[in-house]
């Protein structure tokens, strides 16, 4: 059979030569020798195999510079003498771009950098490939050079990339002993890697590395039939484990996890995926290499999308491919279950929810992932499981070993690797302190949120997914003050149909029992795009076509949601909240739509909600000047202080440069918030506040001081806020705050802190 390069694999030629070379490379790695000798042997072998005049290995140092570690062809005295500064020369450029550089005329390239000690002036062509592990941080650069001007062939690039891949694995695993590279050097010292918190908490424990990738050493195979069969068996095995996972109770019960597994299963059953892998096998690749080839192609196709949804789908494909590679390598999923330390901190380059579920949940205290965002599925699960988790922890995999002590600070995003005893002691204190507080907050669960002077403060949670539901009970909340329905739409693979929505809302209300749930209708658009809905690109999305604006322009979407909410409620009371209302006309239009749907349901004879409360989010400053028109039109108002303040101060809440230019406790903010309280009181309209500020005890205190009696927040904030409320005297606070607002300027943060201190309030 002809392979695409026109070589018949049965006849001795480039293919067998490559295999012999790879075998030799593995032998070199396995031989007992010191790291330097190994690297020297590798460059010699590569130069011989590729008929290159020069082959060199540059390895990255702690400071990011690249040091010439081994060379065949350049002046041997230049070893450990020649350094390329970060980004310097073609070698630096290759490391920076993390991409091969193939230059027939290197010396005339604008990035060429001449180091006389190497004697490289006589070499014209250069091929450099990054030494990196699975596309993560670059550890070094592998280079070949020739005197003649030549463009290296695809075969040459493949040989060099494969060598670099094997080299990277051995560097990271520490097998190139005795070599003082960044990878190895960094394994023996304390480190702090700064990432982003994705699930709150502090964990002290020991590293278990989640190996999502399997190193592929056999790239080619002469027997496509066997490889195809191996692939099919592995896909079958993988599908069976996914089915098993789907049947597990705790997965099936949590609706949105189910969706993730269903997405995996959908990909696993995708005939196109299997076909593409089989085609790659027919081209002479091993089953493993075929999986990796298709994974890379998919990545290349999908990574062009800027959209968060596509990036998540790309992750699904990546996770599934890694899983398949593990099955092919005969590595059992969940293999670590028995050996897992009781204080496991999982460290991974990437990790899917399915991978996390392979582990014994009771043993996992923390999670560190090189590549994961707060919006990812894994973040949702980590939060629900109460695991301290940090994402975007770049370079962490290079620095850890199995069993290393590690601290995950998911308050700040810091990950301490092999911390000093002082750091451990201080974190142990912090963790104990947190545990004590948690115990205290748990003991307050059933205590009513009453101030010292008898004011009852309603405390509800903000939620959006089924996994959040047990938090109402756990936090001892009055209900759900803000249910962000768009989250369910965002984790779905396609627009949820009415039946699905109905079932979902019913389930939410069933789980909430007697406690009220305020459903906010779809707040999409802006930064919350639904990939399956066409949305025009906007110059200024925060001020654009979003939330109620989109809903009223496309009433089909809103109508379906209202219908589903009404049906999901059955005969219960229903609370519907409209987001981003700017004018009263919008309230009228949405109310009319709801009324019509209600009448339709009545005519059809279905059970009708006992009462439908229609309220609005107050989050656009224009409403502050229409309060007399707004209040009588609605059953309740909930202040969305996140948006209200960003629009009031014209400072994007997601832009770190400007989001802290105003203080939530400035007199201006408090004055605006107070005017809403006064208008609500005048019309007897139920009022609450559900922006983030409600969850900070000091801010919550100020809100109570200006008259708010209902607050809705993240479940974990209920304890601290309630604790503050129990020792608060509202009458004294109101008097103090009125005085401050009348006389002071700017922010009231400091005076309010002083007031809290003086009155022994925990804020
Ligand atoms: C708000 O704007 O304060 C709010 C609660 O809504 P979201 O954060 O979902 O925009
Ligand atoms: Mg908002």
Supply the DSSP symbol for 78: G
Q: Indicate if the alpha-carbon torsion angle 225, 227, 230, 234 is positive or negative.
A: negative
CA of residue 93 to ligand 2 center, whole Å: 43
Average pLDDT, the chain: 87
Residue 92 lies in a domain: yes
> Can you tell me which residue has the tokens 């091929």?
127
Say what the pLDDT of residue 703 is. Answer: 98
Say what the pLDDT of residue 581 is. Answer: 98
Closest CA to 165 of 145, 192, 140, 193: 140
Say what the pLDDT of residue 361 is. Answer: 81
Q: Two tokens at 514?
A: 């007697």
**Ligand 1 atom closest to Cα of residue 646:** 2
Q: What is the pLDDT of residues 545-591, one digit of tens each?
A: 999 999 999 999 999 999 999 999 999 999 999 999 999 999 999 99
- Contact indicator for 623, 581 with CB cutoff of 8 Å: yes
Residue 73 lies in a domain: yes
Residue 37, burial from CB neighbour count under 10 angstroms (0-12, 13-18, 19+): middle
Helix, strand, coil share of the chain (percent; to 5): 50, 15, 35
| Ligand sitting nearest the alpha carbon of 695 | 1
Residue nearest to atom 9 of ligand 1 (CA): 484
Residue nearest to atom 3 of ligand 1 (CA): 640
Which range has the top average pLDDT, 77-91, 215-229, 525-539, 619-633?
Answer: 619-633
Per the rule left: phi > 0, alpha: psi between -120 and 50, beta: everything else, 269 is alpha
CA of residue 615 to ligand 1 center, whole Å: 15
**Ligand 1 atom closest to Cα of residue 692:** 3
Q: Are 224 and 142 in the same domain?
A: no
User: Is 50 exceeded by the pLDDT of residue 13?
Assistant: no
Q: Are 741 and 660 in the same domain?
A: yes
Closest CA to 508 of 530, 484, 528: 484
Say what the pLDDT of residue 252 is. Answer: 46
Closest CA to 269 of 288, 248, 242: 242
| Ligand sitting nearest the alpha carbon of 482 | 1
Partner residues linked to 132 by β-bridges: 138
Q: What is d(CA 536, CA 533) in angstroms, rounded to the nearest whole number? A: 10
Between 8-17, 408-417, 656-665, the lowest mean confidence (pLDDT) is in 8-17
**Ligand 1 atom closest to Cα of residue 643:** 2
Which residue range(s) make up the domain with 300? 213-330
Say what the pLDDT of residue 255 is. Answer: 56
User: Is 70 exceeded by the pLDDT of residue 455?
Assistant: yes
Output the domain CATH number for residue 73. Answer: 3.30.450.40
Closest CA to 378 of 405, 359, 397: 359
Residue 362 lies in a domain: no
Supply the DSSP symbol for 118: G
CA of residue 707 to ligand 2 center, whole Å: 21
Strand 612-618 to strand 574-578: parallel, antiparallel, or no bridges (unpaired)? parallel
Q: Are 147 and 284 in the same domain?
A: no
CA of residue 523 to ligand 2 center, whole Å: 8
Q: Are 230 and 165 in the same domain?
A: no
Q: What is d(CA 700, CA 698) in angstroms, rounded to the nearest whole number? A: 5
Choose one of 486, 579, 642, 645 to mutate for the ligand 1 pocket test, by most ligand atoms within 8 angstroms of C-beta.
642
351-377 b/e with 16+ CB inside 10 Å = b? bbbbbbbbbeeebbbbbbbbbbeebbb
CA of residue 477 to ligand 1 center, whole Å: 19
Q: Two tokens at 685?
A: 């309209």
| Ligand sitting nearest the alpha carbon of 548 | 2
Q: 3-state class of 300 per DSSP?
A: helix
Percent with pLDDT over 90 in the chain: 53
Between 310-324, 381-395, 476-490, the lowest mean confidence (pLDDT) is in 310-324
Q: 3-state class of 608 per DSSP?
A: coil
Q: Two tokens at 684?
A: 């007897």
Output the domain CATH number for residue 749. Answer: 3.20.20.60
Say what the pLDDT of residue 12 is. Answer: 41
User: Is 80 exceeded by the pLDDT of residue 64?
Assistant: no
Q: Two tokens at 732?
A: 């004294």
Q: Are 664 and 760 in the same domain?
A: yes
Euclidean distance between the first and final Cα of the chain, in Å? 75
User: Is 90 exceeded by the pLDDT of residue 664?
Assistant: yes
pLDDT bin (cut points 50, 70, 90) of residue 8 is: very low
CA of residue 523 to ligand 1 center, whole Å: 9
What count of other Cβ atoms lies within 10 Å of the Cβ of residue 416?
19
Which stretch of DSSP H or E encloses residue 425? helix 421-443
Q: What is d(CA 39, CA 379) in angstroms, rounded to the nearest whole number? A: 40
pLDDT bin (cut points 50, 70, 90) of residue 187 is: low
- Better pLDDT: 526 or 162: 162
- Contact indicator for 138, 132 with CB cutoff of 8 Å: yes
Choosing from 278, 309, 330, the residue where a domain stops is 330
Residue 201 lies in a domain: no
Between 174-178, 515-519, 682-686, the lowest mean confidence (pLDDT) is in 174-178
Output the domain CATH number for residue 258. Answer: 1.10.274.10
Q: Are 174 and 30 in the same domain?
A: yes
Residues in the chain: 763
Q: Are 221 and 175 in the same domain?
A: no
Choose one of 518, 522, 579 to mutate for the ligand 1 pocket test, by most ligand atoms within 8 angstroms of C-beta.
579
Average pLDDT over residues 646-670: 88
- Contact indicator for 665, 699 with CB cutoff of 8 Å: yes
Q: Are 167 and 220 in the same domain?
A: no
Average pLDDT over residues 436-463: 95
User: Is 60 exceeded by the pLDDT of residue 1?
Assistant: no
Average pLDDT over residues 388-417: 92
- Better pLDDT: 737 or 115: 737
Q: Are 125 and 274 in the same domain?
A: no
Q: Is 690 a catalytic residue?
A: yes
Q: What is d(CA 471, CA 191) in angstroms, rounded to the nearest whole number? A: 35
- Better pLDDT: 689 or 191: 689
Residue nearest to atom 4 of ligand 1 (CA): 640
**Ligand 1 atom closest to Cα of residue 640:** 3
**Ligand 1 atom closest to Cα of residue 644:** 2
Q: What is the pLDDT of residues 239-265, one digit of tens each?
A: 888 887 777 655 544 556 666 677 777
- Better pLDDT: 709 or 332: 709
Q: Are 656 and 709 in the same domain?
A: yes
Three-class SS of 368-392: EECCCCCCCHHHHHHHHHCCEEEEC
Residue 603 lies in a domain: no
Say what the pLDDT of residue 206 is. Answer: 93
Residue 261 lies in a domain: yes
Residue 617 lies in a domain: no
Closest CA to 615 of 678, 540, 707, 687: 687
> Can you tell me which residue has the tokens 């996770």?
319
pLDDT bin (cut points 50, 70, 90) of residue 627 is: very high
User: Is 50 exceeded by the pLDDT of residue 344?
Assistant: yes
Residue nearest to atom 8 of ligand 1 (CA): 642
Average pLDDT over residues 225-230: 95
**Ligand 1 atom closest to Cα of residue 486:** 9
Q: Are 134 and 229 in the same domain?
A: no
- Contact indicator for 104, 74 with CB cutoff of 8 Å: no
- Better pLDDT: 311 or 80: 80
* Phi and psi angles of residue 306, each rounded to the nearest 5 degrees, phi first: -85, -20
Closest CA to 721 of 689, 749, 696, 693: 696
Structural domains of the chain, count: 3
| Ligand sitting nearest the alpha carbon of 528 | 1
Say what the pLDDT of residue 743 is. Answer: 82
Gyration radius from the chain CA atoms: 30
Q: What is d(CA 364, CA 345) in angstroms, rounded to the nearest whole number? A: 6
**Ligand 1 atom closest to Cα of residue 638:** 5
Between 523-527, 604-608, 649-653, the lowest mean confidence (pLDDT) is in 523-527
String of DSSP letters for 178-224: T---HHHHTTSS-EEEE-EEEE--EEEEEEEEE---------B-S-H
Q: What is d(CA 653, CA 655) in angstroms, rounded to the nearest whole number? A: 6
Q: What is d(CA 323, CA 355) in angstroms, rounded to the nearest whole number? A: 8
Catalytic residue among 170, 191, 257, 690: 690
CA of residue 543 to ligand 1 center, whole Å: 14
CA of residue 641 to ligand 2 center, whole Å: 7
Choose one of 482, 528, 654 to mutate for the ligand 1 pocket test, by most ligand atoms within 8 angstroms of C-beta.
482
Closest CA to 483 of 522, 457, 528: 522
CA of residue 696 to ligand 2 center, whole Å: 18
- Contact indicator for 353, 402 with CB cutoff of 8 Å: no
User: Is 50 exceeded by the pLDDT of residue 382?
Assistant: yes
**Ligand 1 atom closest to Cα of residue 690:** 5
CA of residue 525 to ligand 1 center, whole Å: 13
Choose one of 488, 690, 696 to mutate for the ligand 1 pocket test, by most ligand atoms within 8 angstroms of C-beta.
690
| Ligand sitting nearest the alpha carbon of 688 | 1
Give whole-number Cα distances, 85 to 67, 109, 672, 733, in Å: 9, 17, 54, 60
Choosing from 274, 295, 330, the residue where a domain stops is 330
Q: Two tokens at 221?
A: 């195979």
Catalytic residue among 115, 336, 377, 535: 377
DSSP E strand boundaries for 521-610: 574-578
Partner residues linked to 481 by β-bridges: none
Residue nearest to atom 1 of ligand 1 (CA): 640
Pocket of ligand 1 (CB under 6 A): 482, 484, 523, 619, 640-643, 690-691
H helices of 283-364, in order, are 287-302, 308-328, 353-357
Strand 344-348 to strand 364-369: parallel, antiparallel, or no bridges (unpaired)? parallel
- Contact indicator for 722, 461 with CB cutoff of 8 Å: no
pLDDT bin (cut points 50, 70, 90) of residue 225 is: very high
Per the rule left: phi > 0, alpha: psi between -120 and 50, beta: everything else, 667 is alpha
Say what the pLDDT of residue 466 is. Answer: 84
Whole-structure pTM over 0.85, yes or no? no
Choose one of 484, 527, 676, 699 to mutate for the ligand 1 pocket test, by most ligand atoms within 8 angstroms of C-beta.
484
Say what the pLDDT of residue 83 is. Answer: 83
Q: What is d(CA 275, CA 321) in angstroms, rounded to the nearest whole number? A: 14
**Ligand 1 atom closest to Cα of residue 579:** 6
Q: Are 55 and 171 in the same domain?
A: yes
CA of residue 294 to ligand 2 center, whole Å: 41
Closest CA to 43 of 181, 112, 141: 141
Residue nearest to atom 6 of ligand 1 (CA): 640
| Ligand sitting nearest the alpha carbon of 638 | 1
Q: Is 377 a catalytic residue?
A: yes
Residue 118 lies in a domain: yes
Which stretch of DSSP H or E encloses residue 585? helix 584-603
User: Is 60 exceeded by the pLDDT of residue 2?
Assistant: no
Closest CA to 164 of 195, 127, 196: 127
Choosing from 296, 330, 364, the residue where a domain stops is 330
Closest CA to 587 of 534, 543, 548: 548
């Amino acid at each position: 059979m002809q392979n695409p390069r026109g070589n018949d694999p049965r006849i001795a030629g480039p293919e067998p030569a490559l295999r012999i070379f790879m075998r030799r490379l593995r032998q070199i790695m396995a031989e007992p020798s010191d790291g330097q000798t190994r690297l020297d042997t590798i460059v010699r072998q590569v130069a011989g195999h590729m008929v290159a005049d020069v082959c060199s290995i540059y390895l990255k140092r702690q400071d990011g510079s690249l040091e010439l570690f081994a060379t065949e062809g350049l002046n041997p005295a230049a070893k450990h003498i020649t350094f390329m500064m970060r980004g310097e020369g073609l070698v630096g450029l290759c490391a920076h771009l993390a991409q091969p550089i193939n230059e027939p005329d290197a010396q005339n390239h604008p990035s060429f950098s001449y180091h006389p000690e190497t004697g490289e002036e006589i070499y014209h062509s250069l091929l450099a490939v990054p030494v990196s592990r699975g596309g993560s941080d670059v550890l070094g650069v592998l280079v070949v050079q020739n005197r003649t001007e030549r463009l290296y062939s695809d075969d040459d690039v493949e040989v060099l990339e494969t060598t670099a891949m094997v080299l990277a694995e051995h560097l990271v695993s520490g097998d190139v002993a005795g070599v003082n590279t960044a990878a190895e050097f960094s394994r023996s010292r304390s480190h702090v890697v700064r990432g982003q918190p994705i699930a709150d908490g502090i964990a002290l424990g020991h590293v278990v590395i989640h190996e999502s990738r399997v190193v592929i050493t056999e790239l080619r195979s002469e027997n496509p039939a066997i490889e195809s069969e191996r692939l099919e068996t592995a896909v079958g095995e993988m599908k069976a484990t996914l089915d098993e996972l789907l049947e597990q109770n705790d997965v099936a019960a949590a609706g949105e996890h189910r969706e993730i597994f269903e997405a995996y299963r959908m990909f696993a059953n995708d005939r196109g995926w299997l076909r593409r892998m089989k085609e790659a096998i027919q081209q002479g690749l091993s089953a493993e290499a075929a999986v990796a080839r298709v994974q890379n192609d998919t990545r290349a196709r999908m990574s062009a999308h800027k959209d968060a949804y596509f990036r998540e789908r790309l992750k699904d494909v990546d996770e599934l491919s890694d899983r398949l590679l593990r099955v092919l390598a005969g590595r059992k999923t969940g293999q670590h279950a028995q050996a897992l330390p009781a204080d496991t901190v999982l460290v991974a380059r990437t990790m899917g929810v399915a991978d996390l579920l392979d582990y014994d949940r009771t043993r996992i205290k923390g999670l560190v992932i090189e590549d994961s965002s707060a919006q990812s599925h894994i973040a949702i699960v980590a939060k629900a499981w109460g695991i301290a988790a940090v994402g975007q922890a770049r370079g962490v995999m290079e620095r850890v070993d199995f069993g290393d002590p590690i601290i995950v600070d998911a308050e700040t995003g810091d990950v301490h690797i092999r911390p000093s005893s002082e750091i451990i002691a201080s974190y142990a204190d912090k963790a104990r302190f947190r545990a004590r507080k948690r115990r205290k907050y748990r003991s307050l669960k059933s205590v009513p949120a009453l101030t010292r002077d008898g004011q009852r403060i309603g405390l509800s949670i903000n939620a959006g997914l089924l996994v959040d539901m047990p938090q109402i009970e756990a936090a001892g909340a009055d209900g759900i003050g803000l249910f962000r329905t768009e989250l369910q739409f965002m984790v779905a693979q396609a627009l949820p149909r009415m039946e699905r929505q109905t079932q979902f809302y019913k389930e939410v209300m069933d789980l909430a029992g007697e406690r009220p749930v305020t459903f906010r209708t779809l707040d999409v658009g802006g930064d919350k795009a639904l990939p399956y809905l066409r949305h025009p690109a906007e110059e200024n999305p925060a001020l654009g076509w979003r939330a109620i604006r989109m809903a009223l322009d496309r009433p089909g979407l809103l109508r379906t949601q209202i219908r589903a909410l009404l049906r999901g409620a059955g005969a219960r009371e229903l609370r519907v909240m409209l987001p981003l209302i700017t004018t009263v006309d919008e309230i009228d239009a949405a109310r009319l739509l709801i009324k019509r749907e209600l009448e339709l349901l009545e005519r059809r004879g279905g059970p009708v909600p006992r009462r439908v409360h229609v309220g609005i989010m107050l989050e656009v400053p224009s409403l502050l000047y229409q309060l007399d028109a707004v209040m009588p039109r609605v059953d309740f108002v909930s202040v969305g202080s996140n948006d209200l303040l960003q629009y009031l101060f014209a400072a994007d809440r997601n832009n770190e440069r400007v989001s802290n230019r105003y203080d939530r406790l400035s007199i201006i903010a408090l004055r605006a918030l107070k005017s809403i309280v006064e208008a609500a009181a005048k019309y007897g309209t139920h009022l609450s506040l559900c922006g983030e500020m409600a969850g900070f005890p000091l801010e919550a205190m100020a809100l109570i001081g200006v008259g708010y009696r209902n607050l809705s927040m993240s479940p974990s904030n209920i304890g601290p806020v309630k604790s503050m409320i129990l020792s608060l005297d509202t009458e004294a606070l109101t008097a103090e705050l009125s005085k401050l607002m009348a006389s002071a300027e700017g922010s009231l943060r400091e005076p309010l802190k002083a007031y809290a201190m003086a009155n022994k309030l925990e804020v």
